Amino acid sequence: MPDTPASANTALPQHPAARLQVIEQLRWTSVISVVMLIALGLAWELKLAPLPGGTGALALKVLPLTLALPGLLKHKLYTYRWLSLLVWLYFTEGVVRATSDHGLSQQLAMVETTLSVGLFVACLVYVRLRLKVLPKKSKAEKAPQP
């Protein structure tokens, strides 16, 4: 049974229904972005434009992304947080290879950069929305204790 905003309510604290729907959309955006980055990384390094004389070992760069998938599917906030930091490695690789490679490899690098930015934004907004249910600190809690 696919997760719907109503069934996701058991995994998430009390959020308004509209926010739950946005959270669910962001989750699927993140999952799709990760799957696309995995597919792109594997196809790029093994078939489409592997490094000259390479062994294909660079395809192992997608391993951390595969480790993130279960956490994304289970609404693990910790996974979204570390993934939002990890994705900058893929962004950096995409920018470097987009400016230094030529031909198909350069185009694939631009796709990787775009997917990385999309994944980062989806994770960022997801975490921000999930944290909105935390109670706000009162002024007494914020004041330093003498």
pLDDT in tens, 27-57: 999 999 999 999 999 999 899 988 777 778 8
Q: What is the pLDDT of residue 58?
A: 85
The ranges assigned to domains in the chain are 15-133
Q: What is the pLDDT of residue 1?
A: 39
* Side chain identity at residue 11, one-letter code: A
Q: Which residues, at least 6 apart from 58, have a Cβ–Cβ distance to it below 8 Å? A: 45, 50, 51
Cα-based distances in Å from 114 to 1, 45, 62, 91: 31, 18, 16, 8
Question: Of the candidates 22, 24, 34, which has an alpha carbon nearest to the alpha carbon of residue 119?
Answer: 34
Q: What is the pLDDT of residue 23?
A: 87
Give residue 61's pLDDT band: very low, low, confident or very high (50, 70, 90). very high
Whether this model's pTM surpasses 0.85 = no
Give residue 16's pLDDT band: very low, low, confident or very high (50, 70, 90). confident
